[in-house]
Amino acid sequence: METVETLHMNKGAGETSYAMNSFIQRKIITLTKEATEKAIMEILCSRREPIMKMGIADLGCSSGPNALRVMSEIVEAIYAASNMLDRPAPKELMLYMNDLFTNDFNNVFASLPSFHKRISRKNGDDSRNNGYFGSNCFVSAVPGTFYGRLFPTKSIHFVHSSSSIHWLSRVPSGLEDKNGKGLNKGNISISKKSPNCVLEAYSQQFKNDFSCLLESRSQEMVYGGRMVLSFLGRQSMDHTSSNCYYQWELLANALMTMVSEGLVEEEKVDSFNTPYYASCYEELKTEIEKEGSFMVYSHEAYEVDWDDGMYLQSDNDILGAMSKGERFSRTMRAGVESILKYHFGNHIMDELFQRYAILVEDHLSKTRAKFFNLIISLVKRH
């Protein structure tokens, strides 16, 4: 199954939409801000001549407020850095918003007029001859998978990606025996109970995908360009040490309670595997060195509580009244429902995520559950 055909964050702006349930991702964007600002400063001060046209890409921009928030912060960082260096800012900024074909770009575009107004007000710029285009930012949407070519050759100076590259391009092959029976029985992701061949298959798929990402960006980026990748990963080479798949394990548990009540077939669960992989720094470094076009400038890691970012939801009355378990369940649903629906059907979704909320609430009452978020900053070498 190709991720490109099935994965998208929940569309629109309704109760179960990604737009309304992406506060953890927003929190992670704020963690990435410093690395982004540093990378932009380095791009601008490493050149003698000012940049005329600067190409900026956000890979896996999603929909909802996070999408344009990232771009706003990047544009502000460019102006702030130019100001600090006492150099003219790039004359034109080409802002490419990338996500899969099925992403809700309509939702992103609806906020573009106010994005342009905000940017031009901040920068006191009125170079564009139209009320909606008071900025020198040319925003476009580039739909497609970032594990392949997306942009013209040597057109990009800065690539940003947050909460995206933990998604693989496809569910790895080799997760079934020769009779078509699932080898990752009772699980839907890597877990402590997964056999070795499953870990291997996932790891191989990640290597293939990540090297495609590097090769594609290598062709698209200019010399000295920078790439900041932020994503959910794991702490060490051991696949299961830091509970980095525990959000999936609980979802598998919720599915198995439905199996035990005859609401879902066991085989359906055994044959489902999520295209998600939590990589570690050592793995990334090996692939980066093998591909050869990029150099690691810096890397850092943060622990992010499962309920982090939820304070950002307190404005919202409905979400404010919910338990942490329910809120985490909504966040998870907004991100993964599309692939689950495709396999299990729409009819079990409400029930599944209600059960999931209870399991998460119970888990959070016993422990401080955390994600391990990695940020790596790369420089294009040649």
Q: Is 151 among the residues that bind a copy of itself (CB under 8 A)?
A: yes
**What is the CB neighbour count within 10 angstroms for residue 40?**
27
Nearest residue (CB) to a copy of itself, 34 versus 92: 92
**Of 46 and 153, which CB lies nearer to a copy of itself in the complex structure?**
153
Query: 359: exposed, middle or buried (C-beta count within 10 Å: 0-12, 13-18, 19+)?
Result: middle
Residue 123: its H or E element:
helix 112-123
Q: Which of 38, 117, 118, 128 binds a copy of itself (CB under 8 A)?
A: 128
With respect to a copy of itself, which residue has the nearer C-beta, 18 or 281? 18
Q: Is 159 left (phi over 0), alpha (psi -120 to 50) or beta?
A: beta
Binding mask 193-212 for a copy of itself (x = CB under 8 A): -------------------x
Q: Does residue 252 belong to the site contacting a copy of itself (CB under 8 A)?
A: no
Q: How far is CA 304 from CA 228, 300, 371, in A?
A: 18, 13, 5
Structure tokens at 249: 């394990």
List the one residue from 16, 102, 203, 240 that touches a copy of itself (CB under 8 A). 102
Type and span of the H or E element at 159: strand 156-162
CA distance 108 to 90: 24
Residues 209-228 that bind a copy of itself (CB under 8 A): 212, 215-216
Distance CA 89, CA 185 (A): 55
Cα–Cα dist 159/332, whole Å: 26
**Residue 150 or 227 having the CB closest to a copy of itself:** 150
Q: How far apart are CA 347 and CA 329, in angstroms?
A: 17
Is position 249 an interface residue for a copy of itself (rule: CB under 8 A)? Answer: no
What span, in angstroms and rounded, lies between the C-alpha atoms of 177 and 180? Answer: 5
Task: Determine if 18 is a binding residue for a copy of itself (CB under 8 A).
Answer: no
Comparison of 147 and 371: residue with beta carbon closer to a copy of itself? 147
Question: Is 335 exposed, middle or buried, given 0-12, 13-18 or 19+ CB atoms closer than 10 A?
Answer: buried
Out of 94, 171, 221, 251, the only residue in the binding site for a copy of itself (CB under 8 A) is 94
The two three-digit tokens of residue 203, written as one number: 């790891």
Which residue's CB is nearer to a copy of itself, number 152 or number 195? 152
CA distance 182 to 174: 9
**Least spacing, CB of residue 198 vs a copy of itself, in Å:** 25
Q: Which residues, including other chains, have CB under 8 Å from residue 6's CB and lie 6 or more apart?
A: 102, 338, 339, 342
Query: Which part of the chain contacts a copy of itself (CB under 8 A), choosing from 102-110, 190-198, 242-250, 360-368?
Result: 102-110
Piece of the chain touching a copy of itself by CB under 8 A; list 144-152, 193-201, 312-320, 346-354: 144-152
b/e map 115-131, b = 16+ CB within 10 Å: bbebbbeebeeeeeeee
Q: Out of 109, 297, 302, 342, which residue is the one contacting a copy of itself (CB under 8 A)? A: 109
Question: Is residue 104 close enough to count as binding a copy of itself by CB under 8 A?
Answer: yes
Site string for a copy of itself, 35-74 (x = CB under 8 A): ------------------x---------------------
In whole angstroms, the minimum distance from the beta carbon of 97 to a copy of itself comes to: 9
Report the residue from 132, 193, 260, 303 that binds a copy of itself according to the rule CB under 8 A.
Answer: 132
DSSP 9: P
Pick from 18, 23, 133, 294 the residue near a copy of itself by CB under 8 A. 133
- What residues numbered 263-322 form the site for a copy of itself, per CB under 8 A? none
Find the binder of a copy of itself among 92, 283, 351, 361 (CB under 8 A).
92
The residues of the shown chain that bind a copy of itself, judged by CB under 8 A, are: 2, 4-5, 53, 91-92, 94, 96, 101-106, 109-110, 112-113, 128-133, 138-145, 147-153, 212, 215-216
